Amino acid sequence: MAVKALACELPSKLDLPLSRWFVPDLRAEAIASGIVAQISETTIWRWLSADAIRPWTFRSWLFPRDPDFEAKAGRVLDLYHRQFEGTPLGEEDFVICADEKTSIQARCRCHPTLAPAASRAMRVEHEYARCGALQYLAAWDVHRAKLFGRCEEHTGIAPFGRLVGDVMAQEPYASARRVFWVVDNGPSHRGESSIVRLETSYPNLRLIHCPVHSSWLNQAEVYFSVLQRKVLTPNDFTDLDAVERRVLDFQAPLRGGCPAVPVEVHQGGPPQADGATA
């Protein structure tokens, strides 16, 4: 029990220069602290394994820090269930989740990637040349399963505004009664100023912010995770045009009609002054 309790302590609490425990470290500390006179690493491993304690593992965690977390999160979740302020949404109400996937790099490998073969996994060269990065902005119609997306040289107020314009210029959104846009608190659409700016430009648009530090409530993040796994990993592109083609081709089956806008990417130099950029 004492060894298991030791495994559950942070090493820093015992003034040890470790970030986490490994079995040899636990053995040394158990002996040094007088818990046991001698013990084998195998015995400690067996005890911890039987109790499902893995002190060498860790999990990243997000601690909610928005004082209105429950109310803001509840409003977003209600929209996913086609409710807003206690009233069901009508047929002319739509819910869209929007976000940016930033800094998608084009990594040109120094040797060509080799396809899988007998007794051999795919081989991707470790060394690569950096060929720039682009930004992918996407909007997901939650209830109609439609995807709108575009690539940009930079993120910012203006690029996000172009995504909104692409969507809101089309039917059924152009003539809808209300179009709810669920976004996080990134600089492209942060705070009350973004609400005023977008709702003034589009009278039927309602901007809904997720709580601070909870972009995982945004369903666009689910699509981005699929994109990362199936399209961008491993990263092996000859240039930014190749990145853009693959990203837009992947979204094509779900695309809701947004035209693919060519992006002219310039290497080096300051970004365009188009509002907040990231």
CATH topology of domain 69-254: Nucleotidyltransferase; domain 5 (3.30.420)
What residue spans define the domains of the chain? Answer: 2-50, 69-254
- Altogether, the residues listed in the chain come to a count of 278
Amino acid at 228: Q
pLDDT confidence band for 61 (50 / 70 / 90): confident
- 245's enclosing H/E stretch is helix 240-251
pLDDT digits (tens, 9 = 90+) for 154-178: 999 999 999 999 999 999 999 999 9
Determine the average pLDDT of the residues in 11-20: 93
Determine the average pLDDT of the residues in 53-81: 90
Instruction: Return left, alpha or beta for 188; rule: phi > 0 is left, psi -120 to 50 is alpha, else beta.
Output: alpha
pLDDT digits (tens, 9 = 90+) for 218-273: 999 999 999 999 999 999 999 999 999 999 999 998 875 444 344 443 334 333 43
**What's the half-sphere exposure (Cβ side, CA atoms, 13 Å) at 238?**
4
Full-model pTM: 0.77
Cα gap 247→151, rounded to integer Å? 9
Look at 29 and 276; give whichever has higher pLDDT: 29
Determine the average pLDDT of the residues in 210-220: 92
The tokens describing 241, both together, are 């045009």
- 113's enclosing H/E stretch is none
Strand partners, 133: 105
Mean pLDDT over each residue of the chain, to the nearest integer: 89
What is the CA angle 139-143-148, rounded to 5?
20
